[in-house]
Amino acid sequence: MNQPRSTVDRLLVDESGRRPRADARRNVERLVEAARVAVAETGVGVSAHEIARRAGVGVGTFYRRIPSLEVLLEAVLEEILDEITHLAEQALEDPDPWNGLCVFAAAYVRLRTESCGVSEALGGACGDALAQRLEDLRARIRRLVERAQAVGAMRTDIAWQDVPFLFAAAATGERTLGMQAGSQQWERNLQIVLDGLRPTQPSMLPGTPPA
């Protein structure tokens, strides 16, 4: 998989082909960085004013440098999904299919747990804008699952389509039913899920139970 151009480079495309000024590039870099943090913390409903505030620029600068809020959010989420898909590509290169699947699963669930925006994007909140990238990611998850099944490391009665839902279920909030999540709660959830995919004995769970 070829690495795509950075979000900053894509947003700085000038129809005249002129090289953007250094200050323009710095502003776009700050806006992209602020957008990634804001999307992680608050999701895809973040406003242009909030991103500009986090970047330390005025909202006027935002709209001079960025075509629209929607374009920026789409570009940021595309970059994040490209990174997740690249992680899946790396996992497919692991000579141990089960280990490759587990390593990818941990990265995938961690991102869903830590980033509200990633979770929303993977859940389809952005509609058709990210459809091709989601399709590319689905194709790689299918290959990861089929590799593990082919060597007998994973139950064959489970469809590959089940796996993204199981990984999403492992992501968790801090509280439920009045209980506080234990240490490494999502890792515990994921280990239980992974053990359920195996045709062998369960593993020792990380962290502590909820309180």
Domain shared by 88 and 189, yes or no: yes
Domain shared by 59 and 92, yes or no: no
- Residue 88 maps to a domain: yes
Q: Report residue 17's pLDDT band, with 50, 70 and 90 as the boundaries.
A: low
Q: What angle do CA 34, 62, 121 make, to 5 degrees?
A: 50
Domain shared by 16 and 33, yes or no: yes
How far is CA 130 from its chain centroid? 12
**Tell me: the pLDDT tens digits for 181-196?**
888 899 999 999 999 9
CA gap 108, 145 in Å, rounded: 14
- Residue 2 maps to a domain: no
What is the predicted pLDDT for the residue at 193?
A: 95
Last residue within a domain, chosen from 72, 87, 109: 72
Residue 49 pLDDT exceeds 50? yes
Could you tell me how many helices (H) and strands (E) the chain has, helices first?
Answer: 10, 2
Residue 46 pLDDT exceeds 70? yes
| Structure-block tokens of residue 189 | 């959830």
What is the predicted pLDDT for the residue at 183?
A: 83
Domain shared by 66 and 19, yes or no: yes
Domain shared by 84 and 14, yes or no: no
- Residue 24 maps to a domain: yes
What is the predicted pLDDT for the residue at 98?
A: 97
Domain shared by 96 and 164, yes or no: yes
- Residue 148: Cβ within 10 Å count: 24
- Residue 139 maps to a domain: yes
Q: What is the mean pLDDT of the chain?
A: 86
- What CATH number does the domain containing 111 carry? 1.10.357.10
Domain shared by 85 and 184, yes or no: yes
Last residue within a domain, chosen from 32, 48, 72: 72
- Residue 128 maps to a domain: yes
What is the predicted pLDDT for the residue at 3?
A: 46
Domain shared by 167 and 67, yes or no: no
How many domains, the chain?
Answer: 2
Q: Are 153 and 98 in contact (CB under 8 A)?
A: yes
Domain shared by 13 and 94, yes or no: no
CA gap 198, 32 in Å, rounded: 41
Region 108-128: what's the mean pLDDT? 84
Question: Which amino acid belongs to residue 25?
Answer: R
**Tell me: the pLDDT tens digits for 120-178?**
888 877 777 788 889 999 999 999 999 999 999 999 999 999 999 999 999 888 888 89
Last residue within a domain, chosen from 28, 46, 72: 72
Q: Work out the widest C-alpha separation in the chain, in whole angstroms.
A: 62
Domain shared by 68 and 96, yes or no: no
- Residue 210 maps to a domain: no
Range of the domain at 39: 7-72
Domain shared by 177 and 112, yes or no: yes
Domain shared by 89 and 59, yes or no: no
What is the predicted pLDDT for the residue at 160?
A: 94
Residue 115 pLDDT exceeds 50? yes
Query: Could you write out the DSSP letters of every residue in 55-120?
Result: HTS-HHHHHHHSS-HHHHHHHHHHHHHHHHHHHHHHHHT-SSHHHHHHHHHHHHHHHHHH-HHHHH
What is the predicted pLDDT for the residue at 26?
A: 86
Residue 1 pLDDT exceeds 50? no
Region 94-111: what's the mean pLDDT? 96
